[in-house]
Amino acid sequence: MNNLKGFLYGIATSVTFGLIPLFTLPLMAKGLIFDSILFYRFLLATAALGVMMLLKKETFRIQMRDVPVLILLGLLYTGSAMFLFWGYNFMGAGVATTIHFTYPIFVTLLMFVFFREKASWITWLAILLAIAGVAKLSIKGNELTLDPLGMLIVILSAMAYASYIIVVNKSRVRSMNGRKLAFYVFIVSTLLFAVKAMSNEGIQPVPDALSWINLFLLAVVPTVISNITLVLAVHHIGGTLTSVLGAMEPVTAVCIGAFVFQEEFTWQSGFGILLIITAVTLIILSKTIQKTLSTVVRKIRPRHA
C-alpha cells in the first residue's frame, strides 16, 4: 500500500509540475519576464503554505541543525530552475527539457556512488525509455546543434534537481512534515529570485487581476502541491523511482499545449507519450515483473540430483 501511495504521489508530482505552461504562457504574453514570474511564484507559494499550516495548526518550529539542510535544499531547488531558464538562451526549450530530464540518471548514479544503492535492470530500461520518450516529445526534426556551454548549463540544472531529490531522501529532514519542508525551501527561493530580479530589471508590477489569478495557480498547483507530493513520493518509494516517474511532466505539458494552446500534435508526440507511459508502467510493476521472471527462471532451470 505504501508503494502504491508513493507511485501515485510521484505521478501527481510530475503531472502538476507539467502544468507550468498553462499558467506561465499567459503571464509572458502580458510582458512579465521570468525573474518576476519566479519571484511572485515562490512568494505566493510561501504565503499559501503558511496559511495552510496556520489553518491546520501546524508548528513552524524547526531545530537549528535543520537550517543548513533547508538552505541547501533552497539553493538546489532555485539553482535547478535558474540553470534551466539560462539554458533557454543557448538552445530551444524542447532540447533543454530533454537534457534536463537526464536527472533520473544522475539520481541513480549519485545514489550508487554515495549510498551504494543499486538500480535494477528494469529501472535502467525505464530511464532509457523515458529519456527517449522525452526526446520524441521535445526535439522536432532531424538536425540537432548544441552549444557546449548551453549543454553544460542545462546538465547543471539536471544535477541540481537530482541532488535536491537525494538530499530530501537521505538527510535528517526526510521525516519533516512536507508542508513545513516546502515552506522553508520556498522562503530561500523567494529571497534568491528577489535578489536576481533586482539585479536585472527589477520586480515588475502585476498588470491585471487575471495575471494575479495565473500567478496564484502557478504558485499552488505546480509549486506547492508538486513539492509536497514530491517529498511524500520520495518518503514512500525513494529518490530513484520518484525521479523516473517525473517523465509524466513533459506528457502533461504536451497535452496542455495541444488541447489548450492548439499546438501541433504529431505521431512523433504520440510515440513519445507511449514510450513514457511504458517507462512509468515498468517502474510501477517492477517488483511484480522481477518476481514473475524469477519464478519462470526457477521453473525452466534444469534440476540437478
pLDDT average, residue stretch 129-138 = 80
pLDDT of 51: 95
Indicate whether 289 belongs to any domain.
yes
Q: What is the pLDDT of residues 197-240, one digit of tens each?
A: 999 889 999 999 999 999 999 999 989 999 899 989 998 898 88
CA distance 179 to 132: 34
What letter represents residue 58's amino acid? E
Which structural domain range is residue 174 located in? Answer: 2-56+97-300
Q: How many domains, the chain?
A: 1
3-class SS string, 99-124 = HHCCHHHHHHHHHHHHHCCCCCHHHH
pLDDT of 233: 92
Indicate whether 134 belongs to any domain.
yes
CB 253 within 8 A of CB 138: no
Nearest of 70, 48, 41 to residue 203 by alpha carbon: 41
pLDDT of 141: 60
Indicate whether 35 belongs to any domain.
yes
Indicate whether 158 belongs to any domain.
yes
CA distance 223 to 215: 11
Q: What is the pLDDT of residues 18-38, one digit of tens each?
A: 788 788 889 988 999 888 999
Nearest of 135, 150, 54, 60 to residue 102 by alpha carbon: 135
